[in-house]
Structures are given as C-alpha cells and as structure tokens.
Amino acid sequence: MASCIRKASLWHFLSSEEQKCGIHRKIKKVFCEVNKSLLCLLCSNSQEHQDHRHCPVDWAAKECEEKLIKKMRFLSEKACENHRNLNMETTRTRGWKDYVSLRIEAIRAQYQKMPAFLHEEGQHYLERLQKNGEDIFQQLNESKARMEHSREMLRAMYEELKEMGYKPDVELLQAFGDILYRCELLLLQVPRPVNPELSTGPITGLVDKLRGFRVDITLHPERANSHIFLHGDLRSMNVGCDPQDDPRITAAPGCFLSWGAQTFTFGKYYWQVHVGDSCNWAFGVCNNYWKEKRQNDKIDEEKGLFLLGYVKEDVHCSLFTTSPLVVQYVPRPTNEVGVFLNCEDRTVSFVDVDKSSLIHTITNCSFSPPLRPIHCCSHF
C-alpha cells in the first residue's frame, strides 16, 4: 500500500509542468545514474548521456529503497559490534592495572626463588613489564575513546538514513549517492579492539630448576559426554567481552578428557605438555573428587580446578587460567608447557618451556588432596 502511494506521488510530481523537460517539454521518466539527474527519454538518448547508465525512475527509486534498507541493517550490525567491543575494552581497561600489578608480583616472587646473581635481571624484567603495562593501558583508553566516538557517529548516520527513507523518491535518488559514500567511509573507520598482550621474557634457569621435580605422568583418556566438569561447548568461551556477561568455559560433544593415573598429596611435581599450534585445550590439576563428581557445573563457580586453557571461536582466541577464571594477556605457548605443582605453597604454575618464561601462577589454591593431573581437548 505504502509502495503504491509513493509511486503515485512520484508520477504526480514528475507530471507537473515545472518538472517537465525544459527542452522537449516531456515527462522526465529516466534516471541517469552517472549525473544523478532526471531526464526525458529524448535527453537520455542525446550525445551527452548516451554512454551513461539509465533506468526508469520508479525502478531506480525502488532499488535505492532496497539498498537503503540493507545499508541500515548492516549499519545496525556494525553498531552492535562496536557496542560489544566497547564493553570489552571498558572491562579490560577497568581491570588492566590490577592485572599488571598481579603479574609483576608473580614475576617478582619467581625471581626471589632464583639465585642472587639473577636479581638484576629480575629488576630489569619488572621495569620493562611496568612500562609495557602502562603503554597498553594508554592504548586501551585511546581505543575506548575511538569506539565511543564511533558509537555516536554510527548512531547519527543511522538516523540520517532513516530520515532519508521518508523523503520523496526524487530527493532520495538525488541524495542517495552522497549519503552512501559517507556511510561507506564511516564503516571503514569503525575501530577494532586493541590486542592487549604483555611481552614476556626468559627467566634464566627457570625450566632447568623445575625439571629437578620432574615426574612421568600417565594419562587415561576417555571420550567425555556433555555431563562433565566443563559446561556446554568449549568454543563458546568468551571472557570479559561484556561487563554483564559471566565468563564461561564450555566443552563440545567431541571432547576428550584424560585423567592422570597418579595422585599427589604433598611435595613438588613438574611435567610438560605438548600443545603445538593446536587450540581448544585445557590442562592442569584438580582435586580428585572431580573424577567422581562428573556433573554439569560451571567452572568459574567451582573450586578444585586449576587449569591453563586456550580456546578459539571464529577469529577470537583466549588464553586463560581458572580458580578464578581469568584471561591471560601474554603470548600463547606454541610448543611445550610446563606444569609445576607445589603442594606446600598451594600453587600451580604454568611455564612456556621454549621461552623459559612464566605464563601464570595460580596462588592460594583450595587443594583438597589427593590431587590429580587432568587434560581436556576438543576435536571439531
């Protein structure tokens, strides 16, 4: 009905004397896409316009309306994406200084356990880490400001497109090219989130020292069903993208779970896990009751799981640790990861073996011995 009214209104407008061709006194039924002008049939065949692309005015108007609707839909999607990214950047910015402070303390604690001649190396490491953290904090704030500006620009452009949809077809045809160009330009300028990754450096002698506690781990693999300690689908892991969203770790039906044959009650133990360039894995240690419990609970609300994991969803990747569930903003390991269990200190540490660098130490672990190694991976 609305389409019929618009079409009738268009032809009423074009049929008026003042809108007829000034040269031939004919109705301008043709739209020139090059000049964005209305022409009569005779003018459209003239030497000036004969090489241009033409179409009936009502066809051109309908095509513009369809393009306008599609562009508004796409603009809305980009606005939603920008909103999600802004929430993620806000969350990261809010917790960044605390994250860096905790990492500094973890590195300092590690160097305090090393020989005295490495203390100078440790001091330089901490200074670089502090500077790196400050630089990224500034980048996060700048990124957040760009996204806030983009939010307002996208909102204004959407309203302009919406208003354009109510204009007469002739105005729509003549102005559409300009607004489409400005819209495309704006979409190209929508900012992407910062990748806040702290650089890591080698801690001299770290891996050699830990290998003094090395044990051989025997794993008993089994195919896990949906009622295991992981909740849902491992690929849906997305931590910190929205302040209102709780972090979740999930496992797919094709999830393979391995339990260590050994259990540990006291002492210090170290073993290595090969990860290569794979993704969708998690491993570490757990309180033994997890092997018996096997229920569909959320990882971040449960105690007794002390894991390092890496998950990928679409183009987004997350390296994380549990107890509590936290994204780790350091380079992902690409070969061997060392796991160091210290029952006395109630800590579980993960190290990048190739780089001899600390990934993370989970402190104040709620151990309930016996403890058991655990490894989970998904194949899609």
pLDDT at 24: 56
| Mean pLDDT per 10-residue segment, the chain (380 residues) | 48 53 59 67 62 67 85 95 94 96 96 94 97 98 97 96 83 81 94 94 96 89 44 31 37 63 93 87 86 52 81 79 92 94 96 97 92 77
Which of 312, 317, 78, 92 has the alpha carbon at shortest distance from 191? 78
For every residue of 238-285, DSSP letters joined together read --SS-TTSPP-----TTEEEEEES--BSSSEEEEEEE-TT--SEEEEE
Which of 63, 51, 56 has the alpha carbon at shortest distance from 41? 56
pLDDT at 86: 96
Question: 291: exposed, middle or buried (C-beta count within 10 Å: 0-12, 13-18, 19+)?
Answer: middle
377: how many CB neighbours lie within 10 A of its CB?
A: 21
- CA-CA distances (angstroms) from residue 162 to 75, 165, 174, 208? 11, 5, 16, 65
Q: Which CATH number fits domain 206-378: 3.40.190.10, 2.40.37.10, 2.160.10.10, 2.60.120.920?
A: 2.60.120.920
Q: Is pTM, for the whole model, over 0.85? A: no
Phi, psi of 26 (to 5 degrees): -110, 160
pLDDT in tens, 219-253: 776 654 433 333 333 333 332 223 333 333 444 44
pLDDT at 197: 95
pLDDT at 314: 66
185: how many CB neighbours lie within 10 A of its CB?
A: 10
State both tokens at 187: 């979409």
14's enclosing H/E stretch is helix 2-15
CB < 8 Å & 24+ apart, contacts of 27-31: 28/57, 29/56, 29/57, 30/54, 30/55, 30/56, 30/57, 31/55, 31/56, 31/57, 31/59, 31/60, 31/61, 31/173
